[in-house]
Structure 1
Amino acid sequence: MKGVVTGSNVKVLGRAVHSLSRIGDELYLEPTDSGLSLRSVNSSRSAFASFLFAPLFFQLYQLGEPQPFRCKVLMKSFLGVFRSLPSLEKTVGKCLILLKPSANRLVLQLHCKYGVTKTHNLAFQECEQLQAVFDIQRCASSLCAPARVLAEAVVHFPQTLAEVTLGAGPGGKISLRNYVEDEMEAKKTMVTELWLAEDEFQRVAVTPGSSITFCLKEFRGLLTFAEASNLPLTIHYDVPGRPVVFTLDDAVLEVHLVLATLLDPKSDSQCPMANGGVSHLPLPSDDLTDDIESYMVAMETEEEPGVPPSPTFPLNTPCPAQSDPEEEEEEEEEEEGAVPGTPPHKKFRSLFFGSVLTPGGPSLAPTQEVLAEDSDNDC
């Protein structure tokens, strides 16, 4: 595959890489007839982003052999090529992207002013397709707004805030509020909530009273890209617990960001994958719903012909065994001696694999495998 990006499109490509770097540690590349696709997924499989650059985005776009061809590189290595966005705009006139399957190398060549050429040779690894399966047509609510409006709204929240709640109020108003996990902690925590009028949006078609909670870090990354590219952002969502999909559409660019949402324990609506991310709700039994394709599935697997893929969702959760009173007393003593500032247990984990941790109680089902430890960066 050979692609040449020129002019201001070099900076657009750099912004896309910066946005993807907020998602995961690996960058997946797939050249197709529809264009070059750049994708990333976080370690807990709860956030997925995809940038598809159409052939018209490039001055030159040629597909090579073999086809289809997919590979992945370290995000840190790819990001190093586009580290300084202001420098790209001022000094770089052309960027050459060359995939060499025979040499297992991805070549990025920046042609700068005064005849300076910077060549980066990155090692890649062939991989299977990484794709999130979702259907925005089945989402009950959607709204579209200029990225500037949403960017100015989230600037009121601190950078350390993990989750934010988006809700639909009366009169078509949309609210943004910082999420507080425990109701008791809400009385001790500063709560920031702002309302956006309906005329601030280009389109509002939401279910009255609906709300979803999602991670703010990845959303900020997409907002930065959308605002700099002057593109409107569309949000598609359904009931709490089902993924929220953010989309950007342009003549030469198609962007999707899919994030897991927190299932509201007070809500009657339940979905198989959402339940996998909530510690205090029962998981479904062996019957998975037929519309499983409508939920978000992002995984890297190798499927054998004629053999259906194994489900990635936990089928059941055993009831915790009754504990001994003496053990309960020991646990209470340990809790009293806990170090202050220990982060609380999250109420939702991976939307894809449903790793469930019960606060203060037994952990995973025997059939579940912990694929990635929780960290401050992953929700």
Structure 2
Amino acid sequence: MGSARILKNLPNELQNLFKMKCALPSPSVRIFVRVIHALAKLGDYIYFEAEKEQLVIKTVNSSRSVFVVFKLSKQFFISYEQETIALPQICKLTSKSLLTVFRSTSLIDKSVETCLITMPNDMSELAIQLRCRFGVVRSYNLNIVECDVVDVPYSRNILPFHIGASSKTFSEAVLNFRNTIDEVTLVLEPTKIAMKNYVDDIQDPRKAIHTELSLSKDEFIDYTCKQGVDLTFNLKDFRVLLQFTELANYSIDLRFETSGDPIVASVDYEPLFTADFVLATLDVTNVTQPTPPPIRDALNASNINISSAKTPRSQRKRYPTSVTNSEGAPMENGHETPSQSVIVKKMKRIFKRCFETSFSQRIQSNEQILALDSDED
């Protein structure tokens, strides 16, 4: 089973050697497994930080365009115990290893009654125990990867503008866009909002497919935007948030300031948990300026500063909008087309018998002709 392997029960004297230990009831397990799935879709590694009053789970994707953090309070658990020290206990695990435990959401929803998570004192493995129906107990140990500190210095409370709506409102708006679309632009004005696909790097914009959706201010629970703002962000990252909120139709709050600065998409389900998706945006007003330096080097300094860096346009994946030939070159009017004579010769070579005459000169002249040639008329 990879890094997740079934273990035998540990001796009682070893169960007390832990830095963090918590137990989740069945309703919290349903939320927890969807937290893991959302983080695994975005990042290759998932970080657990055991603080005194809460368990923090977060990740960052490889392109550094999105940072996600879930904060699970003590009320989320049946019991939550953490070693009393000043600094939080941090462990880093691969997303694949966690998915070996929480792969099927439907199976876990039906069978798991409680989940026990233990962070041992030696910080070598993370122990997870699933207690299922009919007395079935499944125990796993996940190897902890050499840990580094990942954090984003952001504060959603200082952002001046925000809009809030149910996840159903955002999901219905996103359904109007194809799954192949990379980025969308939110055009926010004091009285209305529009969502459209962002099209760039094409020779003829008239050949691209443009989709634009207009929404009324009344469709939102909260709407505070005193000036016009255009926000261009990755739609696929935002879909991950929408898939997570489908469980209970949570409300989503978008906080922002200006184009090029990150958006903080938040879900507050007090007093159980909060979730923040920090999405990098593209500054379309300065597309003619030199490309800003990539922000992927920030992880090497143990600090990812998405708020001060924009995602370079050159690193965004684009889907071609023009037709290409077998060699990958666009087929424009300047390319030569085969001449008509060449096409005719090729057809005669393939359909040779079709162009042959059906009259044979070997027919004897003394044979009786039953019907004259009608072409002579």
1:128 aligns with 2:148: yes
Task: Give 1:198-209 correspondences, 5 Å limit.
Answer: 198-209=217-228
Task: Give 1:72-91 correspondences, 5 Å limit.
Answer: 72-91=92-111
**Structure 1 contact 131–297 (Cα < 8 Å) conserved:** no
Provide the C-alpha distance between the structure 1 equivalents of 2:78 and 2:267, rounded to a whole number of angstroms: 22
From 21, 40, 58, the counterpart of 2:40: 21
Count of residues in Structure 1 that have an aligned counterpart in Structure 2:
294
The corresponding residue for 1:373 is none
Change (3 A) 1:297 1:77: same
The corresponding residue for 2:174 is 154
Change (3 A) 1:296 1:339: closer
Q: Map Cα deviations across residues 311-360 of structure 1 (whole Å, 9 max, x no partner).
A: x989xxxxxxxxxxxxxxxxxxxxx997248xxxxxxxxxxxxxxxxxxx
From 276, 281, 300, the counterpart of 2:289: 281
Change (3 A) 1:141 1:186: farther
Q: Aligned-pair distance for 1:300?
A: 5.7
The corresponding residue for 1:164 is 184
**Structure 1 contact 132–297 (Cα < 8 Å) conserved:** no
**Structure 2 contact 189–225 (Cα < 8 Å) conserved:** no
| AA partner of residue 339 (structure 1) | G
1:95 aligns with 2:115: yes
| AA partner of residue 186 (structure 2) | L
Provide the C-alpha distance between the structure 1 equivalents of 2:116 and 2:39, rounded to a whole number of angstroms: 20
| AA partner of residue 56 (structure 1) | Q
More deviation, 23-32/182-191 = 182-191
| AA partner of residue 121 (structure 1) | N
Aligned to 2:285, what secondary structure does the other structure show? coil
Provide the C-alpha distance between the structure 2 equivalents of 1:41 and 1:284, rounded to a whole number of angstroms: 20
Change (3 A) 1:123 1:216: same
1:175 aligns with 2:194: yes
TM-score (norm 1): 0.70
The corresponding residue for 2:139 is 119
1:11 aligns with 2:30: yes
The corresponding residue for 2:80 is 61
Q: Aligned-pair distance for 1:229?
A: 3.0
TM-score (norm 2): 0.71
Provide the C-alpha distance between the structure 2 equivalents of 1:116 and 1:107, rounded to a whole number of angstroms: 17
From 179, 188, 191, the counterpart of 2:207: 188
Q: Aligned-pair distance for 1:89?
A: 1.1
From 33, 51, 57, the counterpart of 1:38: 57
Q: Map Cα deviations across residues 269-294 of structure 1 (whole Å, 9 max, x no partner).
A: xxxxxxxxx6x414799xxxxxxxxx
Change (3 A) 1:297 1:57: farther
The corresponding residue for 2:357 is none
Larger Rg: 2
Task: Give 1:285-296 correspondences, 5 Å limit.
Answer: none
1:235 aligns with 2:224: no
Aligned to 1:9, what secondary structure does the other structure show? helix
Provide the C-alpha distance between the structure 2 equivalents of 1:231 and 1:62, rounded to a whole number of angstroms: 28
Task: Give 1:210-289 correspondences, 5 Å limit.
Answer: 210-250=229-269, 251-265=271-285, 280-282=288-290
Provide the C-alpha distance between the structure 2 equivalents of 1:46 and 1:186, rounded to a whole number of angstroms: 26
Provide the C-alpha distance between the structure 1 equivalents of 2:120 and 2:279, rounded to a whole number of angstroms: 33
Q: Aligned-pair distance for 1:186?
A: 3.0
**Structure 2 contact 91–123 (Cα < 8 Å) conserved:** no
Aligned to 1:181, what secondary structure does the other structure show? coil
Change (3 A) 1:207 1:23: farther
Q: Aligned-pair distance for 1:159?
A: 1.6
Q: Map Cα deviations across residues 209-263 of structure 1 (whole Å, 9 max, x no partner).
A: 3111000111111112123133210001122111111111121111111111001
Aligned to 1:134, what secondary structure does the other structure show? coil
| AA partner of residue 328 (structure 2) | V
Q: Aligned-pair distance for 1:22?
A: 2.2
The corresponding residue for 2:328 is 339
Task: Give 1:320-339 correspondences, 5 Å limit.
Answer: 339=328
| AA partner of residue 97 (structure 1) | I
| Structure 2 unaligned regions, length at least 5 | 1-19, 310-324, 331-377
| AA partner of residue 299 (structure 2) | M
Aligned to 1:225, what secondary structure does the other structure show? helix
| AA partner of residue 204 (structure 1) | Y
